[in-house]
C-alpha cells in the first residue's frame, strides 16, 4: 500500500554536536600518538652500548 505522506526531513547536526565529534576524534588520535611516543624508547635498544646478557645466559 502506497502512501503520499512524506517523512519529516532529517535534522542536521548542530555545531555543538559536530564540535563534540571532532573533539572525541582528536582525543583518540592524541592518545594513540602519545602511547606510541612513550613506547618508542622501550622498543628501541641503545645503539652505543651492546645489549646486556642475562645471568641465566652466562651460566650463573
Determine the Cα–Cα distance for residues 10 and 55; give it in Å rounded to an integer. Answer: 68
Model confidence pLDDT, tens digit, residues 33-52: 999 999 888 777 766 555 55
Q: Where are the alpha helices (DSSP H) in 1-60?
A: 15-43
The pLDDT assigned to 55 comes to: 56
Determine the Cα–Cα distance for residues 32 and 40; give it in Å rounded to an integer. Answer: 12
Sign for the CA dihedral angle at 44, 49, 51, 54 comes to negative
What predicted TM-score, i.e. pTM, was given to this entire model?
0.52
Weakest mean pLDDT among 13-17, 22-26, 33-37, 50-54: 50-54
Amino acid at each position: 500500500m502506497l502512501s503520499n505522506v512524506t517523512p519529516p526531513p532529517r535534522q542536521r547536526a548542530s555545531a555543538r554536536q559536530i564540535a563534540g565529534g571532532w573533539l572525541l576524534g582528536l582525543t583518540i588520535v592524541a592518545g594513540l600518538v602519545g602511547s606510541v611516543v612513550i613506547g618508542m624508547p622501550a622498543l628501541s635498544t641503545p645503539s652505543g652500548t651492546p645489549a646486556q646478557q642475562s645471568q641465566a645466559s652466562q651460566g650463573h
